[in-house]
């Protein structure tokens, strides 16, 4: 019931716009919980760094990376820190990866839900390795949201069968996104040169204000578009998440980008992401 309501809110653009524009709830909530007006509402953790596909809108299609798994002790350190700060946003167990390929995914979900009961755990999958049994197992482990991307503007019969077999409670936590081949999205900080660069140099970007992104090696990178970990503010192996978040250079980068100055590093200078602050800030609400 609650998740149904949340999903309706997430998909209502008008309602999102209203909430962001007229509701200071986000700031008050952050001040109350974290003693800061701006605080990330999503943490993205790259537990593995490989995928089954090479989609044209993803840098995986152009860059080779050595296959890696996150060190389990590093994952637990991250979750333990989130637990200590009573984190209540989204924990995304993916970045540039297909999370269902991670043999430890069930364990990661259970650990996150056990240590961070106020947080919501989410994965995005391309659906390739998905089976009904696996999906049910993850939902039983405590997965709060599973977004299944489907390509070529259609749902495959296999995925449709899985969706049809879910009961209403399971179905409320599983979402579908139909992707069209012409939707290339943004150029990932200039890494995808076949995507047209439009002038975004003075467009505000709130991505780094609402997300904290950790790559498979533990680097805290500027944003989810930083595929090659070019702009790094610290490493959670040997630093605390809060200490990294509060570093002056990280703070200055967030401020500059929120004010519409992307001329601060090569990644942002070349990025053509037109960020919709409403959907990002809505994450803070739920």
How many binding residues for ligand SF4 (CB under 6 A)?
Answer: 14
Nearest by Cα to 41 from 21, 51, 54, 27:
27
The piece of 37-45, 65-73, 133-141, 204-212 that touches ligand SF4 (CB under 6 A) is: 204-212
**Contacting residues for 267 by C-beta, under 8 A, at least 6 apart:** 189, 190, 222, 225, 226, 230, 231
CA 192, 197, 202, 207 dihedral sign is: negative
Q: Is 113 in the site for ligand SF4 (CB under 6 A)?
A: no
Nearest by Cα to 85 from 128, 118, 38:
118
Q: Is 58 in the site for ligand SF4 (CB under 6 A)?
A: no
Candidates 225, 236, 241, 244; binder of ligand SF4 (CB under 6 A) is: 225
Nearest by Cα to 127 from 160, 111, 154, 150:
150
Q: Is 222 in the site for ligand SF4 (CB under 6 A)?
A: yes
Q: Is 271 in the site for ligand SF4 (CB under 6 A)?
A: yes
CA–CA distance, 126 with 236 (Å, rounded to integer): 28
CA–CA distance, 76 with 23 (Å, rounded to integer): 35
The piece of 7-15, 31-39, 220-228, 244-252 that touches ligand SF4 (CB under 6 A) is: 220-228
CB of 268 to ligand SF4, least distance (A): 3
Candidates 30, 273, 280, 282; binder of ligand SF4 (CB under 6 A) is: 273
CA 269, 96, 50, 242 dihedral sign is: positive
Q: Is 221 in the site for ligand SF4 (CB under 6 A)?
A: no
CB of 131 to ligand SF4, least distance (A): 34
CA–CA distance, 75 with 193 (Å, rounded to integer): 33
- Residue closest to ligand SF4 (Cβ): 271
Q: Is 220 in the site for ligand SF4 (CB under 6 A)?
A: no
Report which secondary-structure segment, H or E, holds 87: none
CB of 98 to ligand SF4, least distance (A): 22
Candidates 93, 267, 284, 286; binder of ligand SF4 (CB under 6 A) is: 267
Q: Is 205 in the site for ligand SF4 (CB under 6 A)?
A: yes
Q: Is 207 in the site for ligand SF4 (CB under 6 A)?
A: yes
DSSP-derived letter for residue 99 is G
CA angle 209, 239, 141 (to 5 degrees): 70
DSSP-derived letter for residue 48 is B
Binding mask 178-197 for ligand SF4 (x = CB under 6 A): -----------x--------
Q: Site residues (CB under 6 A) for ligand SF4?
A: 189, 205, 207-208, 222-223, 225, 257, 262, 267-268, 271, 273, 275
């Amino acid at each position: 019931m609650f998740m149904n309501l949340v999903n309706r809110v997430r998909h209502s653009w008008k309602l999102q716009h209203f909430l962001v524009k007229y509701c200071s709830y986000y700031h008050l909530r952050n001040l109350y919980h974290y003693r800061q007006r701006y605080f990330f509402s999503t943490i993205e953790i790259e537990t593995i760094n490989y995928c089954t596909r090479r989609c044209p809108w993803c840098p995986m299609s152009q860059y080779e990376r050595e296959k890696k798994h996150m060190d389990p002790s590093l994952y637990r350190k991250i979750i333990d820190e989130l637990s200590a700060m009573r984190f209540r946003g989204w924990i995304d167990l993916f970045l540039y990866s297909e999370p269902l390929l991670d043999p430890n995914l069930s364990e990661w979900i259970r650990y996150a839900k056990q240590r961070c009961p106020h947080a919501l755990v989410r994965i995005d999958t391309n659906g390739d390795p998905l089976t009904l049994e696996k999906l049910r197992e993850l939902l039983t482990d405590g997965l709060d949201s599973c977004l299944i991307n489907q390509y070529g503007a259609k749902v495959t019969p296999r995925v449709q069968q899985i969706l049809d077999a879910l009961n209403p409670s399971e179905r409320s936590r599983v979402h579908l996104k139909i992707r069209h081949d012409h939707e290339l999205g943004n150029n990932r900080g200039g890494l995808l040169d076949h995507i047209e660069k439009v002038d975004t140099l003075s467009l505000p970007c709130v991505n780094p204000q609402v997300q904290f992104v950790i790559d498979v090696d533990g680097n805290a990178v500027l944003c989810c578009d930083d595929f090659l970990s070019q702009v790094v503010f610290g490493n959670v192996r040997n630093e605390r998440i809060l200490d990294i978040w509060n570093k002056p250079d990280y703070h200055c980068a967030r401020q500059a980008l929120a004010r519409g100055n992307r001329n601060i590093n090569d990644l942002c200078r070349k990025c053509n992401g037109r960020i919709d602050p409403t959907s990002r800030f809505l994450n803070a609400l739920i």
